[in-house]
Chains A and B, each alone.
Chain A
Amino acid sequence: MKKLILITLGVLILPSAQAVCPDGKTYPVHFTFDDGPHSVLTPRVLNILKEEKVPATFFVLGKNFAGGKSNPNNKTAYALLDRMKKEGHKIGSHTYEHINHPTFSAARVKENIMKPNPLLKDYLSPVLRLPYGGGSFRSSNPATQAKNDMVMNTVKKAGFKHVGWDIDTNDWDPKKRPNLLPTLLKDICRYKGGVVLFHDIQKYTVDNVQDWIRAVKREGHPFVPLEDLVPEAAKPLPPEACEEETVKNVKALRKEVDEVLEKLEE
């Protein structure tokens, strides 16, 4: 009887046993947020991540930094990048405009991949996520595959590792939102954890992400930094990412030297 009471008390007092996947395991998880930053919603996401002590990655769009730091309208966006960096999150490129790259010319693809890099060079890790995943998949259609190869070669030449996702939550889709959490928990088991895709420009996501984080924690899955799943994320941005800017700088320097030499000759 005494034993029974002790067991009952133990069940009541001790934290409940972790619910794990059907295989009895838990899996590492990393949340990522695309398309931002959003001046109102991204700070809310950062507050939640801080409170929950969860490291995340933000794949930001270059067009949100058009004109760079010299554009006064970008003050908030850059302040958010500073905060992300300070609070231990990773920042990746989501290219400049949210386009489906395989449907564009090689020149346009290169431009859209390279354009954000000089604007974000102080913040970016060498990780990039293509909008719509366009180009990152293998296709049974040879023509589609050729276009996808062109896009992925451009990403690689720019010095980026493409980071897709293991779990797409479809948080942008009101049709799928009612099932988001149960599907997410099921997918963590199905795909053995990994990178999870959200959007920090969706009010619905920001309103609910704290509940989702807590639900994942309740299941016993640990939140890990991106570099645990993608080691390349720990490296600095390579010079080839800002190739165009380097060429521009060298040209400007050469012009200055020429001018000085001309003056000296005079």
Chain B
Amino acid sequence: MKKISTLALASLLISTVACAQAPVFTTVNSSGKDIFAGVKLESKGMEPETYLLQVSSDALTSNKVSLPAELSHREVVALFPADKNRLVVMSQRTVEQGDKPQFHSYNPEKKEWKKLAEVDCVSFAKVKVEKKTLTLSCLETNAKGEEVESKKQVAFRDLTLTQPGEVTLPMAKVEKDSVRAELLGDTFEWKELKVGQDKKEKVFRP
């Protein structure tokens, strides 16, 4: 009897494990001396769970940064460094259909989150980063069945973005001064994050 129940327990455990996928990285960027990466865990039938992995490039140590409850089931789509070592976190619900991307700021020193804005642009890959604005190139299929591009801008009053330029998402690699970080694995199934500074290097898993 004991053997049967052990077997049943083991098979339940195996099926549960089989349904759960390993967590994956979704994007990476740097802010101040730290590297930040979005992490997503998807299990069949469950809401996706997301968080940030913060890696200190000096000590090459990592810690998990939980997202506010309203963001915990949204995918971290992109990270943009801002002044005072802050980070702008762009998130989107990516299940079935994308929703309006939301922008939150995260202050690692104070561990403070603040909602900044959201923008009506579901499908996009290119983002123009300026000091006070982000401009998304939105793709939309119109009534005639044509795919048209429009620009949607989101402005930030209380912070300044520190890495201006044009980026094509996903961001899977970043280099700043002597610090470098790269997501490893198949695209959107990145299972490792390699962080290096000078000759030091370490691989992190979510």
Residues of A within 8 A of B (CB): 34-35, 38-41, 44, 98, 100, 129, 131-133, 137-141, 143-144, 165-166, 168, 170, 172-176, 178-179, 183, 191, 197, 199, 201-204, 206
Contact = CB atoms under 8 A, between A and B. Distances in A.
B49 interface: yes
B91 to A, nearest CB: 14
Given A131-B97, A199-B97, A176 B141 contact: no
Given A172-B123, A174-B139, A203-B147, A137 B46 contact: yes
Contacts of B1: none
A98 B96 CA distance: 11
Contact of B188 (A165, A176, A199): A176
25 contacts: A35-B97, A38-B143, A38-B145, A39-B143, A41-B141, A132-B97, A132-B99, A133-B95, A137-B95, A139-B46, A139-B47, A140-B46, A141-B69, A168-B95, A172-B97, A172-B98, A172-B122, A173-B123, A174-B123, A174-B125, A175-B124, A176-B188, A202-B141, A203-B147, A204-B141
A100 B147 contact: no
Nearest to A39: B143
B45 interface: yes
Given A174-B124, A176-B188, A132 B96 contact: yes
A145 B139 CA distance: 33
What 10 A-B pairs are tightest by C-beta distance, nearest first? A40-B145, A174-B125, A137-B47, A203-B147, A139-B47, A203-B141, A41-B145, A133-B95, A175-B125, A133-B96
Contacts of A176: 188
Nearest to A98: B97
Nearest to B138: A174
Contacts of A166: 44
Contacts of B69: 141, 143
Contacts of B46: 137-140
Contacts of B44: 166, 191
B93 A201 contact: no
A44 to B, nearest CB: 8
A174 B170 CA distance: 10
A199 B97 CA distance: 9
Contact of A131 (B47, B96, B123, B187): B96
B40 interface: no
Contacts of B143: 38-40
A143 to B, nearest CB: 8
Contacts of A175: 77, 124-125, 169-170, 188
A130 to B, nearest CB: 8
B146 interface: yes
A170 B94 contact: yes
Contacts of B45: 137-138
B135 interface: no
A191 B20 CA distance: 11
B3 interface: no
B111 interface: no
B47 A144 contact: yes
Given A137-B45, A144-B73, A179-B188, A168 B96 contact: yes
Contacts of B94: 170, 173
A130 B185 CA distance: 32
Contacts of B110: none
Given A168-B95, A172-B97, 11 more contacts: A34-B97, A35-B97, A38-B141, A40-B144, A132-B96, A140-B47, A141-B47, A166-B44, A174-B124, A175-B125, A175-B170
B19 to A, nearest CB: 10
Interface in B101-146: 122-125, 139, 141, 143-146
B197 interface: no
Contacts of A100: 93, 99
Interface in B69-106: 69, 72-73, 77, 93-99
A100 B102 CA distance: 15
Nearest to A59: B96
Contacts of A141: 47, 69, 72
